[in-house]
Amino acid sequence: MPYDLEDRVVLITGASSGIGRACAVEYHRAGCRIVATARSLDKLEALAAELGGERIVPVVMDVTDPVEREIALRVAHERFGHIDILVNNAGWASFTSILRMPEEHLDRMLALNFAAPIALIRAVLPEMLERGSGQIVNISSVVGYQTIPRMTVYSATKAALTSLTTGLRMELKGTGVDVLLVAPGSTDTPFFQVAATVDARAERVARTKYSPQRVARAVVHSSRRRRREVTLTAEGKLITLIRRFSHRAADAIMCRVARSAMPAVKPTGECP
């Protein structure tokens, strides 16, 4: 049975930009009510103005802040009564080796990419279980399947989110709550400009980039079809396939990609 999206309440993190913003537009188009969250109120208000009407509410939330999480969830419930779909999308990366990674970048990635989705899942799951219906959508990454050097810690946070999503799906089997893992490949968003550059820079890590709209269409389609996983971009699918047959070959490809796509600003010695 497909999941009827009409009138569903969708809370999206990182809805001010890129994939999260496009997901807000696409779920809204599918008839959902949207709780659009991020730190940038001006961008959320611009999104709400663009979509218009009563089916979207912009809510400021730094997902790493427990107080802001609690307030945002309260606002969502006051406005729409409950949450049907949680989209854990907010994320950030720092490009550098493990050794050179500043402590605060490490903490920020762990808090934002991994701990915050767990906290939000734990906050909304009881009400979903009570209703016997709901969806958790986690936006991970292809690098959650196959690490790319100079993005090793970012990849590891995505691998952790991927693993969490798989475990959650098993824990929730038969409860009526669906779990969807989304693994985008390179997507044309401000992600690479917003990322911290310590000793490597990158504008892209693949030859082709999907538009965030294309990713969002796949997310909403998979949500409606109750899919378990969706991996995006041909290159993204290819590297996960290669890895299934040879970890050595996949590592060699990712080293080459890192060398060409993320030239070291300072010599780092990795990936000779």
Ligand X SMILES: NC(=O)c1ccc[n+]([C@@H]2O[C@H](COP(=O)([O-])OP(=O)(O)OC[C@H]3O[C@@H](n4cnc5c(N)ncnc54)[C@H](OP(=O)(O)O)[C@@H]3O)[C@@H](O)[C@H]2O)c1
Q: Active-site residue numbers? A: 154
32-40, 76-84, 96-104, 126-134 -> range binding ligand X (CB under 6 A): 32-40
CB of 212 to ligand X, least distance (A): 6
Q: Which of positions 149-178 make contact with ligand X (CB under 6 A)?
A: none
Here the tokens at position 205 are 């890590």
> CA-to-CA distance for 121 and 187, rounded, in angstroms?
25
61-69, 94-102, 125-133, 240-248 -> range binding ligand X (CB under 6 A): 61-69
One of 141, 162, 222, 223 touching ligand X (CB under 6 A): 141
Backbone angles phi, psi at 39, to 5 degrees: -90, -25
One of 96, 155, 187, 222 touching ligand X (CB under 6 A): 187
76 CB burial (10 A radius; 0-12, 13-18, 19+): buried
One of 62, 84, 235, 270 touching ligand X (CB under 6 A): 62
> CA-to-CA distance for 214 and 1, rounded, in angstroms?
24
Residue 186 makes contact with ligand X by CB under 6 A: yes
> CA-to-CA distance for 13 and 37, rounded, in angstroms?
5
Residue 250 makes contact with ligand X by CB under 6 A: no
> CA-to-CA distance for 168 and 164, rounded, in angstroms?
6
> CA-to-CA distance for 74 and 237, rounded, in angstroms?
39
One of 11, 35, 76, 139 touching ligand X (CB under 6 A): 139
Cβ within 8 Å of residue 1, ≥6 positions away: 226
CB of 107 to ligand X, least distance (A): 12
Residue 184 makes contact with ligand X by CB under 6 A: yes
Residue numbers at the binding site for ligand X (CB under 6 A)? 13-14, 16-20, 38-40, 43, 61-64, 89-92, 112, 139, 141, 184, 186-187, 189-191, 194, 212
